Amino acid sequence: MVGGWFDIGLGGMEHAYKMLPEETRSRSKMVIGPWDHSFNPSGDLTYPNGDGISSMAPAIEWFVIGI
């Protein structure tokens, strides 16, 4: 599960993660980053890779390697 600190749906995602069965949650990851709902960087800091998640390729690679 991936969410952002500035994502309006973050609270619901955290709740959903906590409601996962323990076995599923133990094999899952939840990533919260400095972006909004559209993965655009947000907040008052500058980040080294400030383009947010501009491509789903890194995410797909992460999921494939994680299997």
The rounded percent of the chain whose pLDDT value lies above 70 is 72
Give the model's pLDDT for residue 41.
73
pTM for this model (two decimals): 0.59
CA pair distance 32, 5, nearest whole angstrom: 6
- Do the beta carbons of residue 47 and residue 41 sit within 8 Å? yes
Give the model's pLDDT for residue 67.
53
Q: How confident is the model at residue 11 (pLDDT cuts 50, 70, 90)?
A: very high
Question: Which residue, among 67, 64, 34, 65, has the nearest Cα to 52 in the 3D structure?
Answer: 34
SS3 31: strand
pLDDT digits (tens, 9 = 90+) for 24-46: 999 998 888 888 887 777 777 67
CA distances from 3 to 14, 62 (A): 9, 15
